[in-house]
Chain A
């Protein structure tokens, strides 16, 4: 019985953690690499969700549809980087405004074209029971995906040639460029990865929620606060920030419900920025040196 309780706590933690990581990873990468906050992040999530549902309705298996949705969002991301964000790297605040303008255009155009909501697809995988509790298997799949995303990012940024170039660009773009790194292309790829991860987030959560063009807004608060607490480093910032916030959120959700959980998380973030304005990663990175 005790283990069932423990598992229940872990399950709730895993649920919030996965949500935070999946919604924030893409935003964090773009911020970490280029110092740009992509305000259209929620719209890339929406794009991933819509492509997934569209493909599933055409008869494509769910997992493949989700993969294709992430790739689609990533490609659109590369295009957005090329057309808009690239021109604004010297003015990060303006890139915030430009992407927000884009976000408005995309959501409202979607409302005009597709209408307010489309019928979703049910949550797959069914459920299982431990002790007296029933759990949804798909929620655990989401947790596994979140962990896989973190591992994948670790491999890409720490173990590949692209990762070395990317980290060099992050530390000192001018020097990296002088040493032959094609920083423009690295930025484009990073933005693509960020958008792709946003698309993946939308694709993974598509079966669990109602699809509306404004659905991005349900993700952005979580992704913003995770990035604010985490700081510029995805692995040393976003991941621990997600662990920390997930614990606060889980405790409050369990006793007071979702909305108090969200408010509590926001208050925690406002308190944290008072102490650690650079985010957790500044502390952890300094320790590491």
Chain B
């Protein structure tokens, strides 16, 4: 089973890579010991969004479906968590609320995905249909300010957002501060490892084959629609996980985390990082979130202008993504120096090229 961790669909393998991975993980684990609790809370906040980015990386980078709907599922799940947590009475049921809200997001993804994938729309239209759904959800939730808009005892509250739900709780213990941070780190490690295994498995190979050439994959006997739908559901479910965690983290959610410009953010993170690799997305998204948050303190508009500029620059200068490009450059140098003695640069170049496919 662990063979699947290193495979043709993911970059970074061997002892060097995994040593780095463990070093970063160890640093992440001891971080709360040295930092003050405010910074730890902020850190958890960045980590919330990483799931959404990894989900988009799977859908777009591996599946080849340009989904602009990550915040759609983020919103559905975020609001679902609020409604469920309020109505089920908080406490330990919040864990069930978290699981259920992710499932609700996945069901929504299944329905929307069915119509799009079985309808055979792809490429640009996939993007603008998902974005239309996202914007309509944001408009809809924006006008639910009146008291008639409620689900059970949960008021939707329009643009002011929904609030008053419990954060994740076990018994009498609120999962907040560094506890929440450790939950996030654990979830990210699990999701990252699971996604690596998924994309390197047989299913992952079919998903990538479909991205490369849907017709060819179909001729080889795969019902590509099923694989595409599966990819879409998993990736959107991860956006849902982000949404539910977000609501739990701040105990509120507003429509502005669904509509524009929020909907563009996952695209920027993943495009900038390098959509075709999970590790690049993980690292790049975290860097961007960190940078964004630092600038937002001074001016949110300036931070968003920077995000737009990065997206434009990525497309014009490094369509495969900046982090991925830099990562490849470093690895290239590294391996070349090591292999120089063996004088096998030619074979090495061939190997790297096949990685890029």
Contact = CB atoms under 8 A, between A and B. Distances in A.
Interface of A: 31, 35, 37, 84, 87-88, 91-98, 100-109, 111-112, 214, 217, 220-221, 224-225, 227-228, 259, 262-263, 266, 269-271, 273-275, 277
Contacts of A31: 124
Contact of A112 (B128, B133, B302): B302
A125 to B, nearest CB: 28
A105 B316 CA distance: 15
Contact of B136 (A95, A263, A274): A263
Interface of B: 66, 112, 115-116, 118-121, 123-125, 127-129, 131-133, 135-136, 139-140, 143, 259-261, 264, 267-268, 271, 299, 301-302, 304-305, 307-316, 319
Contacts of A92: 123-124
Contacts of A262: 136, 139-140
Main secondary structure of the interface of B (DSSP, over half): helix
B259 A217 contact: yes
A102 B316 contact: no
A283 to B, nearest CB: 14
Nearest to B140: A259
Nearest to B127: A96
Contacts of B311: 97-98, 100-101, 104
Given A224-B131, A262-B136, 17 more contacts: A31-B124, A93-B123, A94-B315, A98-B316, A100-B308, A101-B309, A101-B311, A104-B307, A105-B309, A106-B308, A108-B304, A112-B301, A259-B139, A262-B139, A270-B129, A274-B119, A277-B119
A31 B143 CA distance: 32
B319 A91 contact: yes
B115 A274 contact: yes
A249 B353 CA distance: 52
21 contacts: A31-B124, A35-B124, A88-B315, A92-B124, A94-B315, A95-B315, A96-B66, A97-B271, A98-B315, A101-B308, A104-B304, A105-B312, A214-B260, A217-B260, A259-B140, A269-B132, A270-B116, A273-B115, A273-B116, A273-B121, A273-B129
